[in-house]
Amino acid sequence: MTQHTHDGGTHQHGDQQGRLNLHEDAGNAVDMWDGMYRERSKIWSGNPNPQLVAEAGNLPLGTALDLGCGEGGDAIWLARKGWRVTAVDVSSVALERGAAHAAENGQEERITWQQQDLAEWTPEPVFDLVSAQFLHSPLLPWQDSTAKAAAAVAPGGTLLIVGHHPHGLAPWSHHHESDMFYTPEELAEALDLKTGPWTVEVLEARERTIESPEGTPATILDTVLRATKNA
Ligand SMILES: C[S@@+](CC[C@H](N)C(=O)[O-])C[C@H]1O[C@@H](n2cnc3c(N)ncnc32)[C@H](O)[C@@H]1O
């Protein structure tokens, strides 16, 4: 089985864990992502993503949807803040780890874990916050996943999308030609932010310093969007 290294910029919440081996010939998203998660007992740091902390820390509490939640670091951080969280991922391996981690942290009551493939499933448009952090997959066009994220925001709610910027990937990335990543301008156009029901609070390419697994520092760019859906 060939393996592909997905290391667009190491979005391991600022830590130095290794690169991701995506089994792209697995044929479906469940096998591909379960395979990636099974390679190690823990892939992510467990810490929340820095742009989530920066952008969601002062929002009024309510219901949150974390799309592509992985092992649950963001969902647990949101729950601790007081959100009621629906955490969705295609990988049951990741979700089981998230649920276990939430129980260890006393947050199991506030988080519902759901296995769904966003290629086929559409969330209800009811959430006060929809967060999609680095929801990059070779089997899921970012235009589709971000559109579903936007549609899931309730009127008055917040959309928070964070992804790797294609011109600000880690130097060691193997994905410099990948179409999995997007600029703020591409995201704004795909989501029709100018003419749609949105008040855009943040739309930018934001620098972040990371380290390779070997400890080499690099500055990468995150595409960050925070917008409110007009009521
Ligand atoms: C690059 S990881 C990011 C995980 C987490 N948001 C974070 O920042 O650490 C992408 C996540 O999206 C999930 N994912 C990929 N394709 C998906 C799909 N079609 N439906 C739902 N989740 C998906 C993967 O299982 C993985 O956990």
Position 178 scores a pLDDT of: 85
Q: Cβ–Cβ contacts within 10 Å for residue 52, how many? A: 21
Q: What is the residue-wise DSSP string for 94-138?
A: HHHHHHHHHHHTT-GGGEEEEE--TTT----S-EEEEEEES--BT
pLDDT per position as a tens digit, 109-161: 999 999 999 999 999 999 999 999 999 999 999 999 999 999 999 999 999 99
Is the pLDDT assigned to residue 5 strictly greater than 60?
no
CB 160 within 8 A of CB 142: no
Does residue 140 line the site of ligand 1, with CB under 6 A? yes
Check: CB of residue 155 under 8 Å from CB of residue 184.
Answer: no
How far does the centroid of ligand 1 lie from the alpha carbon of residue 103, in Å? 21
pLDDT for residue 20 is more than 70: no
Beta strand 127-133 pairing with 4-6: unpaired
* Percent of the chain with pLDDT strictly greater than 90: 80
Distance of alpha carbon 10 from alpha carbon 222, whole angstroms: 11
Residue closest by Cα to atom 16 of ligand 1: 137
pTM over 0.85: yes
Is residue 89 lining ligand 1, measured as CB closer than 6 Å?
yes
Q: Enumerate domains of the chain plus CATH numbers.
A: 4-229 (3.40.50.150)
Which ligand 1 atom sits closest to the C-alpha of 8? Answer: 1
Task: Decide: 29 in ligand 1 pocket, CB within 6 A.
Answer: yes
